[in-house]
Amino acid sequence: MFCTIFSQLFLSSAQYTQLCGNQLPGFIIDIHTGKPVDIDECRDIPGVCYNGVCINQVGSFRCECPLGFSYNDQLLLCEDIDECVNSDHLCFNNAFCVNIPGSYRCECTKGYSRSPSGTCVDRNECSEIPNICSHGECVDTPGSYVCICHAGFTVTEDKAMCIDVDECEQKPCGNGTCRNTVGSYNCLCFPGFELTHNNDCIGKTQPFR
């Protein structure tokens, strides 16, 4: 059994001849008759022709691989072809390639969804997602959307949300304590100070005597 396809794979031809003499690969010598007998590689090699069909032949064997698979003559099995690597532009117009066993498929890129005709079209996030851009207006863009925020709110870096501005960080109250609120802020004036229409605290004017 040693002088079979296994040893052919792992030995140089000189090493093979040294170990196996002129015995033909793919045959085993019958100890009773002394004659070479075909080895059934399909039966004797574990996992041979995996994903495909093994066909024994006199002195050898072959693997028949299904569509989308190719024969790996080192591993003796049928390997999935990664169509996404081998062929550019299998998927186009806002889609990308996903390799699957025996085939591939095209998936829409982020921000796009499959239309009834099968093409990838822009999603209108503004109408599809409830409460998107709360505290602002949603504007649809190709592949995405942006939020235009109401006063007192600022847009996140990805322009996907409006978040409250903490106006107190700017210390707007002067002689008072600032309290941030959602969309605005309040000033609580220190004793002796009063709130102006500019929402800050100034000293109370002394009444004339």
Q: Contact with Ca ion (CB under 5 A): which of 7, 8, 23, 56?
A: 56
The bridge status of strand 193-195 relative to strand 201-203 is antiparallel
Using the rule CB under 5 A, which residue among 38, 44, 79, 80 binds Ca ion?
Answer: 38
How many CA atoms lie within 13 Å of 96's alpha carbon, on the beta-carbon side?
6
Pick the binder of Ca ion from 36, 122, 159, 186 (CB under 5 A): 122
Shortest gap between Cβ of 60 and Ca ion (angstroms)?
A: 5
- Pick between residue 99 and residue 180 the one whose CB is nearest to Ca ion: 180
- Helix then strand count (H, E) for the chain reads 5, 18
> Does the protein bind Ca ion through residue 44 (CB under 5 A)?
no
Quote the CA–CA distance of 66 and 33 in Å, as a whole number: 39
Q: Is 140 in the site for Ca ion (CB under 5 A)?
A: yes
The CA angle 188-193-198, to the nearest 5 degrees, is: 70
Between 38 and 80, CB nearer to Ca ion: 38
Q: Which is nearer to Ca ion, 80 or 122 (CB)?
A: 122
What is the total residue count of the chain? 209
Enumerate binding residues for Ca ion (CB under 5 A).
38, 56, 61, 122, 140, 164, 180
